[in-house]
């Protein structure tokens, strides 16, 4: 009786299903309708979005000054630094200077114990006196032998050659030759004794360690009573800097930048000891020999630094910027405009919802008519991206100088795909 209003298929279904199936089907149809409406809305929205101009961030080209710099790190060093040691081995009897002391050329820095050296000098002086006495004896012997030979010659002359005999006359000649040889030997001994004395006097003088320059003591490793052993290499007892009011800056410039660095260029640098403060310098020398550390090749550049207030000290690590080029009132474009590429922007939109409308972008690209592959920047006009060919020049890292051409001062250049359209 209850199944009279149902179809034959409905009569075969269970009663509980027959009672609830109609509302479920209606809900499912409603959901399907909403989904279709959403898809239609999304497609319509996508169409609306692709119909609008694409949002781009722009920045205008401008006329201004461009300063190109090369950055490098290095160390401050004295112009003239001298390591002073001892050529002699011995014990330091006294040390007369210490750290930061100002010294003048010839000033005594330290004394070695010279007792043994002084005794050797006295001994050498005695040997020299002995040698001089031997010379006097040899000179007298020569005079005596020559006198005897002269007597024999006179006798031979007045006797008509009869006396003296040939043997006696030859003996006189030999005596003269022996006396003259002994005299020369005595003179050589004098020279030898004098040389020995000179060496020992030099050693005695070296026992007093003196400053070779006017300067300041940077390091003083010597202590009274210290034993100095001078073998193959003299030990360093003091390190002197000639003048800390004039320093040098030893920079390591990368091989990619060294071609731009030349003598006479100006620079400025900073040190950690004085944050926020810059110091001037100028390039004194660009050295040709390269230095390779861990496969990185750098070149040594020496800068002159004035240090009148002694704020800078040897050994400080610095970061310097060398001004290699300065152009005034040139046409500049932002470097971000050189990096922008429409293809990258299009690829970034093909994700998420944009994948539903893949192949449709919010802009049209109008490329240069010449079809060249020269560098270019982009500007937006009437919903179209237009390519402008440029001839780039030097850059300071943020702006690049270009030759006059398609880009004029004030031209809005695309630097990125922004969330809002730039007013420029």
191-225: pLDDT as tens digits: 999 999 999 999 999 999 999 999 999 999 999 99
SS3 sequence of the chain: CCCCCCCHHHHHCCHHHHHHHHHHHHHHHHHHHHHHHHHHHHHHHHHHHHHCCCCCEEEECEEEEEEEEEEEEEEEEECCEEEEECCCCEEEEEECCCCCCEECCCCEEEEECCHHHHHHHHHHHHHHHHHHHHHHHHHHHHHHHHHHHHHHHHHHHHCCCCCCCHHHHHHHHHHHHHHHHHHHHHHHHHHHHHHHHHHHHHHHHHCEEECCCCEEEEEECCCCCCEECCCCCCCEEEEEECCCCEEEEEEEEECCCHHHCCCCCEEEEEECCCCCCCEEEEEEEEEEEEEEECCEEEEEEEEEEECCCCCCCCCCEEEEEEEEEEEEEEEEEEHHHHHCCHHHHHHHHCCHHHHHHCCCCCCEEECCCCCCCCCEEEEEECCEEEEEECCEEEECCCEEEECCCCCCCCCEEEEECCCCCCCC
pLDDT at 344: 59
Q: Where are the domains of the chain?
A: 20-50, 57-64+332-416, 70-79+244-326, 114-206
pLDDT at 382: 80
pLDDT at 31: 55
Give me the tens of pLDDT residue by residue for the chain, a chain 424 residues long.
444 444 443 444 444 444 444 455 555 555 555 555 554 454 444 434 343 445 788 999 999 999 999 999 999 999 989 999 998 999 999 999 999 999 999 999 999 999 999 999 999 999 999 999 999 999 999 999 999 999 999 998 898 888 888 899 899 999 999 999 999 999 999 999 999 999 999 999 999 999 999 999 999 999 999 988 877 677 889 999 988 999 999 999 999 999 999 999 999 999 999 999 999 999 999 999 999 989 999 999 999 999 999 999 999 999 999 999 999 999 999 999 999 987 655 555 544 434 333 433 344 444 444 455 678 899 988 878 889 999 999 988 899 999 998 899 999 999 987 644 333 3
pLDDT at 185: 96
CA 103 and chain centroid, separation: 31
pLDDT at 406: 87
Q: Specify the length of the chain in residues.
A: 424
pLDDT at 93: 94
pLDDT at 50: 40
Q: 91 with 226: CB under 8 angstroms? A: yes
Cis peptide before 164 (omega within 30 of 0): yes
Q: 300 with 252: CB under 8 angstroms? A: yes
pLDDT at 20: 47
Q: What is the CATH number of domain 70-79+244-326?
A: 2.40.30.170
**CB contact burial 53-70 (16+ within 10 A = b; e otherwise):** ebebbbbbbeeeebebbb
pLDDT at 18: 46
Phi, psi of 298 (to 5 degrees): -130, 165
Measured N-to-C along each axis, helices 166-206 and 115-158 cross at an angle, to the nearest 10 degrees, of 160
């Amino acid at each position: 009786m209850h199944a009279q209003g149902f179809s034959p298929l409905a009569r075969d279904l269970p009663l509980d299903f027959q009672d609830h199936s109609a509302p479920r089907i209606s809900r499912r149809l409603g959901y399907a309708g909403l989904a279709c409406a959403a898809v239609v809305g999304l497609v319509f929205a996508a169409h609306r979005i692709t119909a609008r101009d694409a949002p781009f961030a722009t920045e205008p080209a401008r006329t201004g000054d461009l300063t190109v710099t090369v950055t490098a790190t290095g160390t401050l060093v004295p112009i003239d630094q001298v390591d002073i040691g001892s050529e002699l081995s011995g014990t330091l009897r006294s040390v007369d200077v210490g750290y930061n002391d100002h010294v003048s050329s010839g000033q005594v820095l330290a004394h070695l114990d010279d007792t043994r050296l002084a005794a050797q000098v006295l001994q050498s002086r005695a040997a020299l006196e002995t040698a001089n006495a031997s010379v006097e004896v040899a000179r007298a012997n020569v005079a005596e032998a020559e006198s005897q030979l002269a007597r024999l010659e006179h006798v031979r002359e007045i006797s008509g050659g009869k006396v003296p005999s040939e043997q006696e006359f030859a003996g006189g000649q030999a005596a003269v030759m022996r006396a003259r040889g002994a005299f020369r030997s005595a003179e050589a001994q004098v020279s030898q004794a004098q040389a020995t004395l000179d060496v020992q006097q030099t050693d005695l003088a070296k026992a007093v360690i003196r400053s070779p320059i006017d300067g300041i003591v940077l390091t003083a490793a010597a202590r009274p009573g210290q034993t100095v052993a001078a073998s193959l290499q003299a030990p360093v007892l003091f390190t002197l800097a000639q003048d800390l009011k004039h320093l040098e800056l030893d920079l390591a410039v990368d091989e990619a930048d060294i071609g731009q660095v030349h003598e006479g260029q100006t620079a400025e640098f900073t040190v950690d000891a004085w944050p926020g403060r810059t110091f001037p310098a100028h390039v004194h020398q660009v050295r040709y020999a390269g230095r390779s550390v861990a496969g990185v090749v750098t070149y040594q550049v020496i800068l002159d630094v004035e240090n009148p207030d002694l704020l800078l000290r040897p050994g400080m690590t610095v970061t310097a910027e060398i001004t290699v080029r300065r152009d005034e009132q040139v046409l500049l474009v932002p470097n971000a405009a050189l990096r922008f590429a429409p293809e990258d922007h299009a690829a970034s939109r093909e994700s998420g919802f944009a994948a539903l409308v893949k192949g449709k972008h919010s802009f049209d690209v109008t490329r240069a008519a010449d079809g060249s592959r020269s560098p270019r920047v982009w500007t937006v006009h009437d919903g179209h991206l237009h390519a402008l060919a440029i001839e780039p020049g030097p850059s300071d890292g943020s702006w690049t100088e270009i030759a006059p051409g398609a880009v004029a001062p004030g031209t809005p250049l695309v630097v990125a795909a922004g969330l809002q359209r730039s007013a420029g």
